[in-house]
Amino acid sequence: MNYNILIGGAAGQGINTLSSLLEKILHRKGYYLFSNMDYMSRVRGGHNFVQIRFGDEPITSHHSALDLVIALDQETLDLHQSRLKDTGVIFIDRSLNESKTSDNKQLKTYDFKSVAKELENNRVEGSVTVGAVLKHFGLDLDYVKESCDSIFKKVSIAQLNYTAIEKGMDLAESLLTLNPMPNNQDKILINGNQALALGALAGGLDYYVAYPMSPSTGIMTYLSSKQSEAGIVVEQAEDEIAAINMAIGGAYAGARSMTGTSGGGFSLMVESLGLSGIMEIPLVVVDVQRPGPATGLPTRTEQSDLSFVLTASHGEISRMILSVKSAEDAFYATVRALNIADKYQIPVIILSDQFLADTSQTIDAFNFDNITINRHISKKEDITEGTYKRYEMTENGISPRIIPGKIEGQVILSDSDEHDEYGNITESADVRIKQMNKRMQRLEMLKSVVEEPEHFGSEQPNLLLMGWGSMYGPLQEAVKMLQDDGYKVASLVFGDLYPLPTKLLEKYHDKANTLVNVEQNFTGQLGKLIRQETGIHCQKSILKYDGRQLSGEEIYNRVIKEVL
């Protein structure tokens, strides 16, 4: 069982409050949720919507067929009516439906606005609607009080909204009955940005510096809201160049540092990415992708920065690139990125995207017990010959790192210029070769650290679908649908992208006769990377670059039409 609700209207009409309240209640009642946002780059007006899919089993993708549309404006009605299932209904306020379409059986006209007016607060209209939705699905008032308390911080406002929900329930009729769900204390409902930020906190982040850019801003907003409680410092820099240089400076001085942005901001950071490379300073940079180039589609989704981040920086540096596959993965991957950056003293780039950033999903609560924070900082005893050498030649290419000021008499010199073991500038060809070898040697070591892509589906697939990052959930759903139709199909979804893990790729490539890369970009960047690193070709590509995420169902349809 799962249902798909769409709430649409203009920016400023309260879609967010309505949806967060409804989501919280459904979540507390134990249902699995998957909710994603589609919004325009404007503060008021325009057309925006949230889709909430919920059911009694985990859900990994959005879906187009709708069971319920809550239309806060005419545009929502016009745009989404056609997606309604035969059994579906539309809720609208009476004020919107005075003359029109009164014979449409799917249309349910309610007095949301006037009930809110009776309660002397127009802003509770959303909560009245929530009440009607609950009633529609045959749900009771359990957990509604708690949910109001957690969404509305002020007691009187929470109480008012609770009353609004109660009143809203009286408006509608119960057309459905849902399976009751067990208590879900061990589940959370979280979006990609929040999960990533929480992962950073669990991973021992000290210092986060960024410049606002959608859709990455949510990370900074979340971290700022927790900064005093967590004892970290979050700073809004004057621009992205400052942000990354501050993160690098903070890391040099001993803080676990991170910055986050979207593609445009990342473009500005590129010279400095190389700086962290040659300085051997650990750094985590998050790129929450949106469609480019330039300002592109600011609030939409795309996976088109992979090729760019692979070689971003002039010259050559060791780097690691990983993408996050889901909210759950974003949490653990961020912890891992912070540890890897410190261990190998390299920049680690995390690729996320707008879809993931703004998608909330019910997942198992994170397990904090198995997380470790490994700083790999050397102590006085580790300085062997009396004088510390920041760029000491070592067997594995990683020099001991100490913190400036912490060991009496020892100083640390880091440069953007080529340098010798002490950090002194040099133009010696010999030293250049040695330091380059030392820095680049880490790429080899990273190959043993990278995690293989996640395999899903048949062990003996004829058809292998490959994707990365946020294609994870939709691909899982597509594979399930194709398997249900009897196809021998599997997917490999990459989290770690560079260095590229190749074991599973080689294993399944031998079995499958058709390889398809499924990506949110124009040029098939994963396909290119795979070809470059392994010589393996994808025969087909399923690509999308309209700024909207592929759903499981959409991948399924396109595989049937374009591949099989």
Partner 1 sequence: MTDVKKFDRDVEIAWCPGCGDFSILNALKTALSELDLEPHQVTVVSGIGQAAKMPQYIRTNGFNGLHGRALPPALAIKTVNKDMNVIVNSGDGDSYGEGGNHLLHNIRRNVNIAHFVHDNQIYGLTKGQASPTTDENHKTAIQPEGVIVQKFNPIAFAIANGAGFVARSFSGDIKHLTETMKAAIQYNGYAIVDILQPCVSFNKINTFKWYKDRVYALDHTYDPSNKSEALIKADEWGDDIPIGIIYKRQEQPSFTDLIPQLNDAPLIDRKRHPIDAEKFMNDFK
Alpha helices in 172-239 (DSSP H): 192-202, 217-230
252 or 508: CB nearest partner 1: 252
Q: Determine, following the binding rule CB under 8 A, whether residue 101 of this chain makes contact with partner 1.
A: no
Which of 459, 497, 506 is CA-nearest to residue 479? Answer: 459
Tell me which of 3, 31, 34, 207 binds partner 1, using CB under 8 A.
207
Q: Determine, following the binding rule CB under 8 A, whether residue 408 of this chain makes contact with partner 1.
A: yes
Instruction: Evaluate whether 61 touches 47 at the Cβ level (below 8 Å).
Output: no
Q: Determine, following the binding rule CB under 8 A, whether residue 213 of this chain makes contact with partner 1.
A: no
CB atoms within 10 A of CB 230: 14
Which of 241, 231, 281 is CA-nearest to residue 261? Answer: 241
Q: Using CA atoms, how far apart are residues 197 and 350, in angstroms rounded to an integer?
A: 12
251 or 450: CB nearest partner 1: 251
Q: Determine, following the binding rule CB under 8 A, whether residue 241 of this chain makes contact with partner 1.
A: yes
CB atoms within 10 A of CB 546: 12
Instruction: Evaluate whether 227 touches 54 at the Cβ level (below 8 Å).
Output: no
Q: Determine, following the binding rule CB under 8 A, whether residue 230 of this chain makes contact with partner 1.
A: yes
Phi, then psi, of 134 in degrees rounded to 5: -60, -45
Residue 278 beta carbon to partner 1: minimum distance, rounded to whole angstroms: 10
> Considering only 45-53, 268-276, 307-315, 531-539, which stretch makes contact with partner 1 by CB under 8 A?
268-276
Which of 66, 94, 97 is CA-nearest to residue 82? Answer: 66
Q: Which two tokens stand for residue 559?
A: 């595989």
Q: Using CA atoms, how far apart are residues 333 and 322, in angstroms rounded to an integer?
A: 8
Q: Using CA atoms, how far apart are residues 30 and 180, in angstroms rounded to an integer?
A: 8
Residues 420-439 that bind partner 1 (CB under 8 A): 423-425
Q: What angle do CA 345, 350, 354 make, to 5 degrees?
A: 160
Q: Using CA atoms, how far apart are residues 267 and 430, in angstroms rounded to an integer?
A: 33
Residue 238 beta carbon to partner 1: minimum distance, rounded to whole angstroms: 4
Residue 339 beta carbon to partner 1: minimum distance, rounded to whole angstroms: 11
Tell me which of 68, 248, 350, 482 binds partner 1, using CB under 8 A.
248
Residue 308 beta carbon to partner 1: minimum distance, rounded to whole angstroms: 20
Q: Determine, following the binding rule CB under 8 A, whether residue 409 of this chain makes contact with partner 1.
A: yes
Phi, then psi, of 12 in degrees rounded to 5: 90, -5
Q: Using CA atoms, how far apart are residues 46 and 28, in angstroms rounded to an integer?
A: 31
Which of 57, 139, 135, 138 is CA-nearest to residue 361? Answer: 57
Residue 253 beta carbon to partner 1: minimum distance, rounded to whole angstroms: 4
Residue 205 beta carbon to partner 1: minimum distance, rounded to whole angstroms: 8
Q: How many CA atoms does the CB half-sphere of 189 hold within 13 Å?
A: 25
Residue 415 beta carbon to partner 1: minimum distance, rounded to whole angstroms: 4
Q: Determine, following the binding rule CB under 8 A, whether residue 170 of this chain makes contact with partner 1.
A: no
Q: Using CA atoms, how far apart are residues 189 and 31, in angstroms rounded to an integer?
A: 10
Residue 424 beta carbon to partner 1: minimum distance, rounded to whole angstroms: 5
Whether residue 404 is preceded by a cis peptide bond, meaning omega within 30 degrees of 0, is no
Size of the site for partner 1 (CB under 8 A): 72
Q: Write the binding mask 277 to 296 for partner 1: x where contact by CB under 8 A, - elsewhere.
A: --x-----------------
**Residue for token digits 């990354």?**
244
Q: Determine, following the binding rule CB under 8 A, whether residue 265 of this chain makes contact with partner 1.
A: no
Tell me which of 89, 148, 247, 482 binds partner 1, using CB under 8 A.
247
Q: Using CA atoms, how far apart are residues 444 and 19, in angstroms rounded to an integer?
A: 47
249 or 264: CB nearest partner 1: 249
Q: Determine, following the binding rule CB under 8 A, whether residue 142 of this chain makes contact with partner 1.
A: no
Q: Determine, following the binding rule CB under 8 A, whether residue 337 of this chain makes contact with partner 1.
A: no
121 or 416: CB nearest partner 1: 416
Q: Write the binding mask 310 to 329 for partner 1: x where contact by CB under 8 A, - elsewhere.
A: --------------------
Residue 52 beta carbon to partner 1: minimum distance, rounded to whole angstroms: 16
Residues 342-381 that bind partner 1 (CB under 8 A): 365-366, 368-369, 371-373
Q: Determine, following the binding rule CB under 8 A, whether residue 212 of this chain makes contact with partner 1.
A: no
Residue 334 beta carbon to partner 1: minimum distance, rounded to whole angstroms: 11
Q: Write the binding mask 467 to 496 for partner 1: x where contact by CB under 8 A, - elsewhere.
A: ------------------------------
Q: Using CA atoms, how far apart are residues 265 and 298, in angstroms rounded to an integer?
A: 12
Q: Determine, following the binding rule CB under 8 A, whether residue 231 of this chain makes contact with partner 1.
A: yes
Q: How many CA atoms does the CB half-sphere of 517 hold within 13 Å?
A: 23
Tell me which of 415, 418, 454, 553 binds partner 1, using CB under 8 A.
415
Tell me which of 123, 226, 376, 432 binds partner 1, using CB under 8 A.
226
Radius of gyration from C-alpha coordinates of the chain: 26
